Amino acid sequence: MIARAVATARESHQLAQLSESLSIAATAEGAIGDFAAARRFLDEAEAMTAALHDYPATIELVLARAIHAVFQGDMDRASAMSSEGDASVERPVISFNLRRCFASSAWSP
């Protein structure tokens, strides 16, 4: 289903939706332990997202990057990524709440 969303967004040149789909795909690949595939999806999303000036695409990428770090057991990087979200989005409450989640023991790898 995610591959279909990526393909559809790519074919229809819907760049914001493509960025979001790539970020979601990265999270899904990380969840199953394919960190190389996750990194490829993140790299592609990172290459396009800033120029889009699109809040949903930006926050999805911030979340995907932080979750990728969590999956790899790097809580310091996860926290830094969520802090970076404060500067990159206009609604920092979401990334603040993400940092709170990372600070809890429930998110420990």
Residues 6 or more apart whose Cβ sits within 8 Å of residue 101: 107
Eight-class DSSP state of 35: H
For the chain, the domains span 2-107
Q: Give me the amino acid identity at 22.
A: L
Q: What is the pLDDT of residue 96?
A: 45
Confidence of residue 78 (pLDDT cuts 50, 70, 90): confident
Task: Give residue-wise pLDDT tens across range 2-35.
Answer: 999 999 999 999 999 999 999 999 999 999 999 9
CB–CB of 41/23 below 8 Å?
yes
CB–CB of 55/47 below 8 Å?
no
Query: How many residues does this entry show for the chain?
Result: 109
